[in-house]
Amino acid sequence: MAASTPAKRAPRKAAASRTTPARKAVVPAGDGPAVVLDLDGLDKQQAFPKVKLPTKPFTFLLNGHVYELKDPRDADWKRVLELARNPFLLMRTSLVGAEDPVDNPTELETECARERLGLPSPPPAAGSDDAKREAKQYPDGIPVLLIDRLTAADLPTWKLNALFTNWHEHHKIDMSSSKGILSALLGTEE
């Protein structure tokens, strides 16, 4: 019997950003200051005029599954300091479909989901009060997500380093200047 190969996940298209319906710019009448920078109309290429931004998504294959990471500069500014200090959180924030459920999760993926949710591992004994509370909180079972699949994968540090290096190079982020990821996330390096 031939060994089955894990299903490959096709790269997802980046989710459309949530925007409010187009509205007319509120331009002060006569006595107010004129708009100097229109952030509503600014796109990334205009913000980085000297950088040739990639047109293809950054994807990688790990254990037969295809993952996609967005440009880390797309992170919301309110989380930048937190993300710069935590590479895992940066990757989770940038992982396209991180919150998508996975089919046929492994025991380790389920354990990672339990850890992410702050649930005890191993699970509480069947019929216990804790098990009943958990069943009430998660009537469809513990949600195992794509981020749990990535977290559960064996990944030596040298491969993780290659992943981060290639991810940043793909998005034209120069980490060799020693300015660090914070500068890259804020878009202050070129």
Instruction: Count Cα neighbours of 149 within 13 Å in the Cβ-side half-sphere.
Output: 25
Report the number of distinct structural domains present in the chain. 1
Q: How far apart are CA 75 and CA 89, in angstroms?
A: 11
pTM: 0.74
Of the candidates 30, 36, 96, 18, the residue with the CA atom closest to the CA atom of residue 60: 96
Please give the angle made by the CA atoms of 73, 151 and 162, to the nearest 5 degrees: 55
Is 4 a domain residue?
no
Domain span holding position 106: 58-186
Is 91 a domain residue?
yes
User: Average pLDDT for consecutive 10-residue bins of the chain (190 residues)?
Assistant: 47 50 58 87 91 94 96 89 86 95 96 95 92 94 96 95 93 72 62
**Three-class DSSP category at 125:** coil
Output the pLDDT for position 190.
46
Is 39 a domain residue?
no
Output the pLDDT for position 109.
97
Output the pLDDT for position 174.
77
Is 82 a domain residue?
yes
Instruction: Count Cα neighbours of 121 within 13 Å in the Cβ-side half-sphere.
Output: 13
Is 32 a domain residue?
no
